[in-house]
Amino acid sequence: MCGIVGIVGNSAVNQSLYDGLTVLQHRGQDAAGIVTINDNMFRLRKANGLVKDVFHTRHMHRLQGNIGIGHIRYPTAGTSSSSEAQPFYANSPFGIALAHNGNLTNFDELKTWLFDTARRHVNTTSDSELLLNILGHELAQTQALKLTPEDIFQAVNNVHKRIRGAYATVALIIGHGMVAFRDPNGIRPLVFGKRETEHGVEYMVASESVALDACDFEFVRDVAPGEAIYFTEDGKMYSQQCAEAPTYSPCIFEFVYFARPDSTIDKMSVYATRVEMGKKLGEKIAREWDDLDIDVVIPIPETSCDIALQIAQQLDIPYRQGFVKNRYIGRTFIMPGQEMRKKSVRQKLNAISAEFKGKNVLLVDDSVVRGTTSEQIIEMARAAGAKKVYFASAAPEIRFPNVYGIDMPSANELIAHGREVDDICQLIGADELIFQDIEDLVAAARTFNPEVKRFETSVFNGKYITNDIDQGYLEKLDAARNNESKEQTDKNADSIIDLHNEGA
């Protein structure tokens, strides 16, 4: 998952973009970047690392201008090289910079078409650079020297026709302004807000509403699936539906894990959804495990805390924070390699023995993906003296790869792939294991917005809503991005000719 922000303001936007990216850091820890426009010139800083490490004072000084976009990256295509950090830049037409959250599924076809037919070259293996060039190609179709809002909406309409997959996107066009759009299924989130200043209104778009809060922008609404919003440099706003058959199908995993609890996505509060997930899982535990003697409910920090508290209340059993989280270690699931993820669990979490000694504990996590966390945490609970260790996952079994912006490319790396609950229970070393039902997970989110009829749930049921994913595609993806090949590609990534030099 990545995070994107964009601001059209009346004064310097660099600090607000930085602040917005900082509160979206949970969506990607690999790279960060900001582009602003000053005197019709792009100003860029991007590099691998966390927001706080990428932008030093000298870079902030460089990022002059009242309009800009930013990105934090969690790679799902290409390599982790700094040359694939975003935003990306293309010089034609006008000069465009683009930031993207999501993943395109017709990458190969697009790359061939772009070079052979549109005569545009991309210099990296990033799908986002393809998206930028396709937007550029479509914007170039009108020969006008100044693009009208209609020209921009027509270009986005054509982009929707060419590309498939998930994309929440924000782009700057020199001499014009900022355009933001969301794929026709609305898989990835995108919101916009405004703030009144003495010099007029300012606009901000962001992956999550928390970024608006942090920058003092008032939430206006979600960008609709398929919709494009165009903000001119001088503060006018235009919006239009640019897709032929848009349908709301937001990614359910945003609610399970990715998004911050204080965000609201498509009118559904992430926090309230997690509490509801806890309620439903608590009911299932009460139904199916009425003979189990649980002494205490313990969350696996951090994402599962709200869920576990609700389960404890539901079961009328004490809730205890038996694991202490090291606040200086980031999220482990979105780390780039399995070795690093494995090591980080121990560095990140430590047990308080008193909460485990001689007790039957129920450990709660939001999800079990590769099993990296659950396996080690159960071992830690036993080492701390637990009598029995029961384990509950607030998401169902994750059995299928993700192709829409979550880096789970390989079915074989998923602990639940091809396995039933008993086998998984044995593998992670629990005494008993229970998963949320998919119907309950969907119902938990829909409680807060029944208008959303469908969610993107492919990791649980293998149904890919863009209808373009077959076994052949998944096999190719697996071969290209499983742990081993990713390590290899990343090792070679430094030798990529970097046109966008990281600089100092």
Ligand X SMILES: O=P(O)(O)OC[C@H]1O[C@H](OP(=O)(O)OP(=O)(O)O)[C@H](O)[C@@H]1O
Ligand Y SMILES: NC(=O)CC[C@H](N)C(=O)O
Active site residues: 2
CA distance 399 to 396: 9
Structural contact between residues 133 and 117, judged by C-beta atoms closer than 8 angstroms: no
Which of 353-382 are b and which e, b meaning 16 or more Cβ less than 10 Å from the residue's Cβ? eebbeebbbbbbbbbbbbbbbbbbbbbbbb
Pick what 102 binds: ligand X, ligand Y, Mg ion, none; C-beta below 5 to 8 Å, kind-dependent.
ligand Y
Residue 265 interacts, among ligand Y, ligand X, Mg ion, none and using kind-specific CB cut-offs from 5 to 8 Å, with none
76 versus 344: smaller Cβ distance to ligand Y: 76
How far is the C-alpha of 485 from the C-alpha of 79, rounded, in Å?
Answer: 11
Shortest distance (Å) from residue 144 CB to ligand X: 47
Nearer to ligand X (CB atom), residue 287 or residue 327: 327
Give the phi and the psi of residue 17 in degrees, each rounded to 5: -65, -45
CB of 245 to ligand X, least distance (A): 34
Q: How far is the CB of 105 from ligand X (least distance, A)?
A: 23
β partners of residue 33: 46, 71
Q: Which of the residues 293 through 312 are near Mg ion (CB under 5 A)?
A: 303
Q: Is residue 48 within the footprint of ligand Y (CB under 6 A)?
A: no
Of 205 and 210, CB closest to ligand X = 210
Which partner in ligand X, Mg ion, ligand Y, none is near 21 (CB below 5 to 8 A by kind)? Answer: none
Give 166 or 363: the residue with its C-beta nearer to ligand Y: 166
Q: Which of residues 103-122 bind Mg ion (CB under 5 A)?
A: none
> How many residues sit close enough to ligand Y to count as binding (CB under 6 A)?
16
2 contacts which partner out of ligand Y, Mg ion, ligand X, none, CB within 5 to 8 A by kind?
ligand Y
The answer to the question of residue 128 lying near ligand Y (CB under 6 A) is: yes
Three-point CA angle 388, 302, 359, nearest 5°: 20
Check whether 366 is labelled as a binding-site residue: yes
Residue 100 interacts with, from ligand X, ligand Y, Mg ion, none (CB under 5-8 Å by kind) = ligand Y
> In angstroms, what is the minimal distance from the CB of 333 to ligand X?
3
- Nearest approach, Cβ of 260 to ligand X (angstroms)? 9
- Phi, then psi, of 8 in degrees rounded to 5: -115, 110
Supply the minimum distance, in Å, between the C-beta of residue 365 and Mg ion: 6
Distance CA 111, CA 108 (A): 5
Instruction: Please tell me what DSSP assigns to residue 223.
Output: P
Closer residue to ligand X, CB minimum distance, 252 or 334: 334
Q: Which residues pair with 268 in a beta bridge?
A: 265
Contacts with ligand X, residue ranges (CB under 6 A): 257, 300-303, 331-334, 365-374
Least CB distance to ligand Y at residue 74 (A): 5
Residue 360 interacting entry, from ligand Y, Mg ion, ligand X, none, C-beta within 5 to 8 Å by type = none
**Token pair in block for residue 367:** 């999800």
Between CA 464 and CA 448 the distance in angstroms is 24
Report 359-418 residues binding ligand Y (CB under 6 A).
Answer: 405
- Contacts of residue 31, defined as CB under 8 A and 6 or more positions apart, other chains included, come to 46, 47, 48, 49, 54, 71, 72, 73, 75, 80, 82, 84, 85, 86
Contact 2, 73 (CB under 8 A): yes
**Judged by CB, which is closer to ligand Y: 73, or 370?**
73
CB under 5 to 8 A by kind: which of Mg ion, ligand Y, ligand X, none does 126 bind? ligand Y
CB contact at 8 A, 72 and 60: no
> In this complex, which beta carbon is closest to ligand X, that of residue 17 or of residue 363?
363
Between residue 68 and residue 107, which ones bind ligand Y under the rule CB under 6 A?
73-78, 100-103
**Nearest approach, Cβ of residue 436 and Mg ion (Å):** 15
Phi-psi region of 220 (alpha: psi -120 to 50; beta: other; left: phi over 0): alpha
**456 DSSP assignment:** B
Choose which of 36, 66, 83, 126 interacts with ligand Y (CB under 6 A): 126
Maximum Cα interatomic distance, the chain, rounded to a whole number of Å: 76
Q: Write down the residue that tokens 């009346």 correspond to.
A: 10
CA distance 27 to 102: 11
Site membership for ligand Y, residue 163 (CB under 6 A): no
Strand ranges (E), 266-387 = 268-269, 296-299, 323-325, 349-351, 360-365
For ligand Y, the closer CB: 359 or 370: 370
How far, CA to CA in Å, does 267 sit from each of 15, 48, 378?
28, 33, 36
Residue 303 annotated as lining a ligand binding site = yes
To the question of whether residue 407 is assigned a binding role by annotation, the answer is no
Which tokens hold the place of 150? 């209609």
75 binds, among ligand Y, ligand X, Mg ion, none (CB under 5 to 8 A by kind): ligand Y
Looking at beta carbons, which residue is closest to ligand Y? 2
CA-to-CA dists, residue 221 to 8, 189, 208, 294, angstroms: 17, 11, 11, 43
Residues annotated within a binding site for Mg(2+): 303, 365-366
Interface residues with Mg ion (CB under 5 A) are 303
Interface residues with ligand Y (CB under 6 A) are 1-2, 73-78, 100-103, 126-128, 405
Residues annotated within a binding site: 303, 365-366
